[in-house]
Amino acid sequence: MNEIIHKKPIVFRSNVEKKSKYSDYRDDLRVDFWYSCAYCSMTEDEACGIGFEIDHYLPQNFHPALSNDYNNLMWSCQKCNSLKRDYNPNDSDTEKGLMIIRPDNENPSYHFKLNYNKLEGKTITGEFNIVYLALNRMQLQKLGMIRKKFYESSEYIKQGIKSIASIKIDRIDKKNRFLFEKMKKHIIERQKILEDPESVSSILKVFGKSELIDSDPEKRKQLKSRKNYLKQQRAITVPKL
Ligand SMILES: [Zn+2]
């Protein structure tokens, strides 16, 4: 059973055409990674739209040839990216399983199980990732609690929808039947959405996204006018943003 999960990645990369620099892949990565961190799974929205970056799975310092290779780029929250740093396992590390899990290669749930709000490693790789990326940090434990409540309530809502959809019309008072039929039709449409994995995927993508970190079309213009303004003010050096 575990073998089957192991082989099923949860991130599928789109066929993206070659771009001149790695930062140009930003929006492709956001979509392909469900607007979520590749390592801790926090969504942009859960992170309140701050602190997401492009990570080089194999670090640029050791693998410069892969610097602009889409398959080597991951969408990561700032915290995971700073903890991962330039981790570059050698053959012996890889053999021992001391490698960072990539969700476009395998399913992380093969390596982890959830015990209340804490992750536990099911494999050496799982244990290594929990420690190396601090996957039981307080922020992620709290996030786990919020998600749990959300999933429990969505199950509750699904049950409610099912029971309303199964009510027979002759049990409804005659004067309310028209209204009931209308409501039932609406509810059944919603039920179809909840049961269709494709629809659920697109809903999840919408919920994970934070518009706060969408590319800023004005950025280049703003940087230029900032630089000019600071030069005019005789600032000796222009601090980087
Ligand atoms: Zn993260």
pLDDT surpasses 70 at 201: no
Query: What is the SS3 string spanning 132-193?
Result: HCCCCCHHHHHHHHHHHHHHHHHHHHHHHHHHHHCCCHHHCCHHHHHHHHHHHHHHHHHHHH
Tell whether 130 and 161 lie within a shared domain. Answer: no
- Residue 71 CA to ligand 1 centre (angstroms): 18
- Residue 76 CA to ligand 1 centre (angstroms): 5
10 domain-assigned: yes
In this predicted structure, which of 73-87, 113-127, 134-148 has the lowest mean pLDDT? 134-148
- Per-residue CA distances from 66 to 30, 112, 127, 134 (Å): 19, 29, 27, 26
In this predicted structure, which of 137-151, 182-196, 197-211, 217-231 has the lowest mean pLDDT? 197-211
- Residue 126 CA to ligand 1 centre (angstroms): 15
Tell whether 131 and 179 lie within a shared domain. Answer: no
Residue range(s) defining the domain that contains residue 40: 2-139
- Residue 80 CA to ligand 1 centre (angstroms): 4
pLDDT surpasses 80 at 49: no
Tell whether 35 and 150 lie within a shared domain. Answer: no
Tell whether 94 and 123 lie within a shared domain. Answer: yes
- Residue 27 CA to ligand 1 centre (angstroms): 17
Tell me which of 134 and 199 has the higher pLDDT: 134
End-of-domain residue from the set 121, 139, 157:
139
Tell whether 58 and 87 lie within a shared domain. Answer: yes
In this predicted structure, which of 27-36, 50-59, 138-147 has the lowest mean pLDDT? 138-147
- Residue 54 CA to ligand 1 centre (angstroms): 11
Tell whether 47 and 145 lie within a shared domain. Answer: no
Number of domains in the chain: 2
Tell whether 33 and 124 lie within a shared domain. Answer: yes
Q: Chain-centre distance of CA 94, in angstroms?
A: 25
The pLDDT of residue 204: 62
End-of-domain residue from the set 139, 169, 191:
139
Tell me whether residue 40 is exposed, middle or buried, using C-beta atoms within 10 angstroms of its C-beta: 0 to 12, 13 to 18, 19 or more.
buried
- Residue 104 CA to ligand 1 centre (angstroms): 15
131 domain-assigned: yes
Tell whether 104 and 153 lie within a shared domain. Answer: no
End-of-domain residue from the set 99, 123, 139:
139
236 domain-assigned: no
Tell whether 135 and 149 lie within a shared domain. Answer: no
220 domain-assigned: no
Tell whether 98 and 156 lie within a shared domain. Answer: no
Tell whether 77 and 14 lie within a shared domain. Answer: yes
Q: How confident is the model at residue 37 (pLDDT cuts 50, 70, 90)?
A: very high
- Residue 137 CA to ligand 1 centre (angstroms): 10
Kindly provide the b/e burial profile for residues 176-214, where b requires at least 16 CB atoms within 10 angstroms of the residue's own CB.
Answer: eeeeeeeebeeeeeeeeeeeeeeeeeeeeeeebbbeebe
Tell whether 132 and 22 lie within a shared domain. Answer: yes
The tokens describing 74, both together, are 């991951």
Query: Whole-angstrom Cα distance, residue 202 to residue 215?
Result: 21
pLDDT in tens, 147-173: 888 777 766 676 777 777 777 778 788
